[in-house]
Chains A and B, each alone.
Chain A
Amino acid sequence: MIHKKNILAAVVGVLLVAGVAPAVADDAPAATPTVNLGQPDVPLQPWSFGGVFGRYDQNQLRRGFQVFKEVCSTCHSANLMSFRNLDEDGGPAYSEAQVKALAATYQIADPSVKGGKRPGLPSDRWPAPFATEKEARDSNGGALPPDWSVLAKARGEERPLLNWIGDLFTVYQEGGPDYVHALMTGYHDTVPAGVTNADGTPFKLPDGKHYNDYFPGHAIGMPPPLTDGLVKYAKGADGSSVPLTVDQYSRDVSAFMMWMAEPGLDARKEAGFRVVVFLLLFAALMWLVKRKIWSNVEH
């Protein structure tokens, strides 16, 4: 009987601690972050490519590409993107002729030709703005502008457990674009009042850094890259236009980054819909066959 009592007490103990501790933790002031300064949660944005039926918006990708080409690509490389990707389905989908003409405007380093440079071809990779990491750092105050190829998928917060379980059903995979949009729109000219370090001392921005709400530690090397009216979008065929604002540029360039990281998203989701519908119907048929076979068995 002593054993039984002990066991029961242990179980009750486990249950109590398991139930109470997280509840207490929510109110505990001790649970302040110790490494990074508190960043606000990244707000979720509506993306055309979110969800089971999400697809890229071709016009948005073209606008995002324009922002990338005119602004971002002066510092950021995109080593895994080829010019030919720009005319593929599910992307900005320029015509082959447009891509050929675009590629030809770039000079590609090629030691096998006279002079070491030749005009670009659609099969060439997007040329990097700096030849070496050292050159890139020297031009950017010691910071290395990260390569863009899969950057949109390399960012994004870990989601709390309950959100994550929900994400399994809503297939939320847009943490990267959400973060990029928040980062682009999260700059401040000066450190906002009341920002402190983890130990309560006032936050001081290091020289050459810029204050950003969403960057881990707030001090980002990249100066605010976008300003209202910086990129001139062409009007749509029907005369429609989008606002020339930082917010709009950020959305467009985030979508473009996501496409660069996940160029086959449209085709993947399209195939997925067909596969899942097929499996559901197949499972229903299998169930009927199974039931028929088992109909003469008492079980």
Chain B
Amino acid sequence: MAEHTSSYTPSNGLEKWLDERLPLIRFSKEHLMDFPTPKNLNYWWTFGAILAMMLVIQIVTGIVLAMHFTPEATLAFNSVELIKRDVSGGRIIQAVHSTGASMFFVAVYIHIFRGLYFGSYKAPREVLWILGVLILLLMMAAAFFGYVLPWGQMSFWAATVITNIFASIPVIGDPLLSLLRGGFAVGNPTLNRFFSLHYLTPFIIAAVVVLHIWALHVPGNNNPVGVEVKSSRDILPFHPYYTMKDLFGIVVFLIPFAWLVFFAPDILGHSSNYEMANPLVTPPEIVPEWYFLPFYAILRSIDFPLLFIDSKLLGVIFFGGSILILFFVPWLDRSKVRSGTFRPLFQPFYWLFVLNFLMLMYLGSQSTTIWWVPILGKVGVVYYFAYFLIILPLLPRFEVTRPLPASISENVLRPAHT
């Protein structure tokens, strides 16, 4: 699909002049308007556009917040409150930014799980997938840095607990910890560097997003049946068909977003973050934001040593591994059939994986003093890794897949699964 011919002809002398020097208009026409897109994309595919919008919203609101925020340990907490009280529109801008972080993760998890179901990571889209996982990692970093900035109790103690994770890495752990914190404990230098990094990461994300979209535009979109585009009957130009469908998806997504911003801006946060950071008082429970909970549950579930590895380091290995394993999914899944729609045996395992992810999320929010939390946590960890390391590689050996349609348009006319 990459080699579709351009339909652009410069309409006047100036456009022709520009086209010979910097073919910006030609590029836009090819990639934003004519880009051939499978005609059968469902609404799960609108989350790409939703995520692009969320990145823009976070950057714009974040730039405004940075104008009024004071990254200094004794002033930061009150400066966020003053943004809400005294800056014009500050209450809404701050709520959009903090709720936006959560909505960003809602969208990215849906986007990732869509990719996992429809096999969007399979050849020739491995690089596209890897760049996506990289964006997830960068988003996690950005969200973590950002959560520390209001300098509430949960900000401070989350920063302490999360940076502490790095201390368990052998040899470089302690120097790395001091480098991250800017000292032996979390304090003003930590806040300063986290603010700086929080301003930096979104622009790195934007750059990787450009690569992600580039890597999308070379092979073109995957689609719900997972059969490559065969003829012009299978495709539609991106504009107006998908610009319109994406815009509709965006507006629908904005409804729950606005609901939370205006009616429940604090519901996704912790009440103890309305207390100023105090190194002398540990909150009764230190709980990360909801979008980190599945991985936090994995970290906490590993409470036993293995051979010469102590339990802390082992937890960190599983914690890091749970995200890094995503990089290898294109090669772990051995099925020739892309879309889960045609894989009857894959489907229950996939949905169990989704449930398992949600269960880990719930467990991450519960105290480990409840006896079933560590037990279920270990079960969750086993299934999380078994899904990638055992089920995806071995399932194709036993699975009899459903017959694939000859083409997208054939499937559109006679859907195979009805």
Contacts and interface: CB of A to CB of B under 8 A. Distances in A.
Q: Do A and B come from one complex?
A: yes
Interface of A: 3-4, 7, 10-11, 13-15, 17-18, 21-22, 24-25, 28, 30-31, 34-36, 52, 79-80, 85, 146, 149-151, 153-156, 158, 161, 164, 167-168, 171-173, 175-176, 216, 261, 263-264, 268-269, 271-273, 275-276, 279-280, 282-283, 286-287, 289-290, 293-294, 297-299
Contacts, number: 152
A149 B40 contact: no
B241 A155 contact: no
Given A150-B81, A150-B274, A14 B379 contact: yes
A217 to B, nearest CB: 10
B137 interface: no
Given A17-B379, A275-B258, A175 B252 contact: no
Nearest to B391: A7
Contacts of A150: 81, 274
Contact of A18 (B85, B91, B359): B359
Contacts of A269: 262-263
Nearest to A16: B379
Contacts of B60: none
Contacts of A283: 248, 251-252, 255
Interface string B263-291: 11111001110110000000011000000
Contact of A268 (B244, B262, B285, B369): B262
B262 A289 contact: no
Contact of A7 (B356, B370, B382, B390): B390
Nearest to A88: B85
Contact of B84 (A155, A264, A294, A299): A264
> Majority SS of interface residues in chain A?
helix
A164 to B, nearest CB: 8
Contacts of B248: 283, 286-287, 289-290
B290 to A, nearest CB: 10
Given A3-B398, A279-B254, A283-B252, 8 more contacts: A17-B379, A21-B376, A150-B81, A151-B274, A173-B264, A279-B251, A283-B255, A293-B244
Contacts of B267: 164, 167-168, 171-173
Given A28-B371, A286-B247, A297-B241, A149 B255 contact: no
Contacts of A290: 244-245, 247-248
A257 B124 CA distance: 58
Contacts of B375: 17, 21
A57 to B, nearest CB: 19
Contact of B263 (A14, A17, A171): A171
B266 A173 contact: yes
B232 to A, nearest CB: 13
A53 to B, nearest CB: 10
Contact of B82 (A80, A151, A172): A80
A84 to B, nearest CB: 10
Interface residue tally on B, bucketed by range: 35 or more
A176 B271 contact: yes
Interface string B374-400: 011001001100100011001001100
B198 interface: no
B271 A155 contact: yes
A17 to B, nearest CB: 5
Contact of A297 (B236, B264, B372, B413): B236
Contact of A276 (B81, B95, B258, B274): B258
B241 A21 contact: no
B348 interface: yes
Given A150-B274, A275-B258, A161 B371 contact: no
B259 interface: yes
A190 to B, nearest CB: 27
Given A80-B85, A263-B85, A290-B245, A216 B284 contact: yes
B42 to A, nearest CB: 9
A85 B398 CA distance: 70
Contacts of A294: 241, 244-245
Contact of B258 (A151, A176, A279, A298): A279
A18 B355 CA distance: 10
Interface centre among B355, B365, B371, B409, by most chain A C-beta atoms within 10 angstroms, is B371
B344 interface: no
Contacts of B85: 80, 85, 263-264
29 contacts: A7-B390, A7-B391, A7-B394, A11-B349, A14-B352, A14-B356, A18-B359, A24-B372, A36-B284, A80-B82, A161-B362, A167-B267, A171-B259, A172-B264, A172-B267, A176-B271, A264-B85, A264-B91, A268-B95, A271-B262, A276-B255, A276-B262, A279-B258, A286-B244, A294-B241, A294-B244, A297-B236, A298-B409, A299-B412
Contacts of B236: 297
Contacts of A161: 362, 365
Given A14-B352, A31-B371, A264-B84, A154 B275 contact: yes
B27 to A, nearest CB: 24
Nearest to A1: B398
B181 interface: no
B372 A289 contact: no
Nearest to B258: A275
B258 A18 contact: no
A176 B85 CA distance: 19
Nearest to B243: A293
B39 interface: yes
A272 B274 contact: no
A149 B274 CA distance: 10
4 cross-chain pairs, A with B, having the tightest CB-CB distances, nearest first: A272-B262, A154-B274, A171-B263, A21-B372
A73 B271 CA distance: 23
Contacts of B274: 150-151, 153-154, 261
B397 A52 contact: no
B112 interface: no
B379 A80 contact: no
Interface centre among B84, B95, B272, by most chain A C-beta atoms within 10 angstroms, is B84
Contacts of A31: 370-371
A82 to B, nearest CB: 9
A290 B242 CA distance: 9
Contacts of A18: 355, 359, 376, 379
Given A14-B379, A268-B262, A276-B258, A286 B251 contact: yes
Contacts of A286: 244, 247-248, 251
Contacts of A10: 382-383, 386
